[in-house]
Amino acid sequence: MIRIAVLAGDGIGPEIVNEALKVLDVLRSEGLEVQTEAAPVGGAAVDLTGDPLPEATLALCRASHAILFGAIGGPQYDVLPREQRPERGLLRLRKQLDLFANLRPAQVFPQLAAASALKAEVVAGLDILIIRELTGDIYFGEPRGIRIDHGERVGFNTMIYSESEIRRVAHVGFQSAMRRNRRLCSIDKMNVLESTQLWRDVVTEVHAEYPDVALSHMLVDNAAMQLVRNPRQFDVMLTGNIFGDILSDEASMLTGSIGMLPSASLNSAGQGMYEPIHGSAPDIAGKGIANPLAQILSLAMLFRHSVDRADLAARIETAVERTLEAGLRTADIALPGEAVVSTSQMGDAVARALVQGHA
């Protein structure tokens, strides 16, 4: 029995998770033994319990094979003390489960090449995997805070990586490259930041164990530029937490919409959390227009990485492609003048394509 914790969260989270559950229901109706249990997280959990990651939610996640996560956050929570903010719940969950490797594929579906912010000929066929370290770096480094210095406020954070943190994510990077086109580009800012000099040194050391992978290094500012100049030069990009956060959002625009990009966050036991890379999109929440495909593709990643059912992952991905092929578009991926469908119409269509693909 596959146990999945379902943490829908805030904003469009519940709307798009609902569509992924329709897809899961199709597989369940075919006999897949899967058990889902929902739990509050983020702002929804703050409203209920005052804590963005209640103990019961964490316990459910620990006891599950995988977590299907929607999104968290909203402007109404931005005034709360930092510890109670939804984002802090997400960071704690990543840290508590030691989900250190974040896999973010950025693929251009041929049907959507024209929806990219770049020219179709620059992005057609694009297939990058960004691997972002997720539990270290300046997001977690201590000391951090805002203090008074010489009569004025000073904000400070600590960019820090240990050798073992870099080493374990480098292994994930090289192993992923081995399954793809065997090219790994490691991103750093070693010309200015010591912690990223160590990053480069350790990645180079780990490379000795993967002689079949071609390793290159690139400074993060250049990488940001190369991603829009010639994105197809990349196969796997390996980055620290903050650089990966920014570069993967940039890469999302190459694919047409942030609403298309799934992600997986894995620990060394293969347990994983699967979520779209976007946030809770409060500007469109409740309108029924959010794109559910990133969430549905996150479910596909769940089957590939946490329960060893790459066959089901491929079926879901094919169902998404067929749905796009049939011309269905939510507003974020529609070209001017194209007809658009709602969140639930898109989910229904993928579920139907999944059934038909199996018939």
Which x/- pattern, by CB under 6 A, does the window 308-347 give for ligand NAD? Answer: ------------------------x---------------
Of 164-172, 192-200, 283-291, 297-305, which part binds ligand NAD (CB under 6 A)? 283-291
SS3 329: coil
Nearest one of 296, 284, 359 to 323, comparing CA atoms: 296
| Catalytic (active site) residue 245 | yes
Candidates 189, 210, 235, 274; catalytic one = 189
Kindly tell me which residue out of 71, 312, 328, 346 binds ligand NAD, with binding defined by CB under 6 A.
71
| Catalytic (active site) residue 188 | no
CB 260 within 8 A of CB 333: yes
Q: Is 278 in the site for ligand NAD (CB under 6 A)?
A: yes
- Which parts of 195-214 interact with ligand NAD (CB under 6 A)? none
CB 181 within 8 A of CB 174: no
Cis peptide before 143 (omega within 30 of 0): yes
Kindly tell me which residue out of 20, 279, 298, 328 binds ligand NAD, with binding defined by CB under 6 A.
279
159 by Cβ neighbours in 10 Å (0-12 / 13-18 / 19+) ranks as middle
| Catalytic (active site) residue 287 | no
d(CA 13, CA 247): 23
Residues 6+ apart with CB under 8 A from 16: 70, 71, 276, 290, 291, 292, 294, 295, 343
Candidates 47, 221, 287, 308; catalytic one = 221
| Catalytic (active site) residue 95 | no
Q: β-pairing, 101-107 with 127-133?
A: antiparallel
Kindly tell me which residue out of 107, 280, 306, 323 binds ligand NAD, with binding defined by CB under 6 A.
280
Which x/- pattern, by CB under 6 A, does the window 219-258 give for ligand NAD? Answer: ---------------------------------------x
Q: Which of the residues are catalytic?
A: 139, 189, 221, 245, 249
